Amino acid sequence: MARFRTALSVRFRDIDWAGMVNNAVYLTYLEEARVRFWIHLTQRVPRQIEDLPMVVARVEMDYLKPLRLGDKLWVELWVSRLGRTSFDFSYRLLHLDGTPVGRARTVMVHVTPEGQPHPLPREMLDQLTPYLEEDTSP
């Protein structure tokens, strides 16, 4: 199965008073990876809810090593579960040298423009299935 990988850089605004990336910023890194993945899948930049019809229902994050200003990292993501109206993304965050700095999982719910859960359409299932891989993280 395939994994999507994108590179990100730690910016000054990501840093807290201790000189490390603030824990909440990691969620922004996950979001950036999800949006880039969706653009990769659909070949379209999302401009409205119909272009990116999912919301985050749950986040789990393990922080393994700190990130600091100027660090560059990879964010890998894959689909670790497909359900009827929801699916899971699993993530690995790595320094460019491959050292793990974090891992995460998000539960994504497919929604209507009004925000109501809705079954995953066949087209979306077909796009996500090649990235389906069990998450074996501890």
CATH of the domain at 113: 3.10.129.10
pLDDT digits (tens, 9 = 90+) for 60-102: 999 999 999 999 999 999 999 999 999 999 999 999 999 999 9
Other CB atoms within 10 Å distance of the CB of residue 26 = 22
- 39 domain-assigned: yes
Reported confidence tier of residue 136, pLDDT bands at 50, 70, 90: confident
The whole-angstrom distance between residue 39's C-alpha and the CA centroid of its chain comes to: 13
The confidence score (pLDDT) of residue 44 equals 80
Give catalytic residues, as residue numbers. 16
- 138 domain-assigned: no
Residue 138 has pLDDT above 80, yes or no: no
Q: Roughly how many angstroms between the first and final C-alpha of the chain, as a whole number?
A: 20
Residue 14 has pLDDT above 90, yes or no: yes
- 136 domain-assigned: no
- Spatial neighbors of 46 by CB under 8 A, at least 6 apart, are 35, 38, 39, 52
Question: How buried is 111 (Cβ within 10 angstroms: 0-12 exposed, 13-18 middle, 19+ buried)?
Answer: middle
pTM score: 0.91
The confidence score (pLDDT) of residue 48 equals 64
CA angle, residues 120, 45, 100, in degrees to nearest 5: 80
The confidence score (pLDDT) of residue 13 equals 95
The confidence score (pLDDT) of residue 77 equals 97
- Which range marks the domain in which residue 80 is found? 4-131
Spatial distance between the Cα atoms of 108 and 125, rounded to a whole number of angstroms: 13
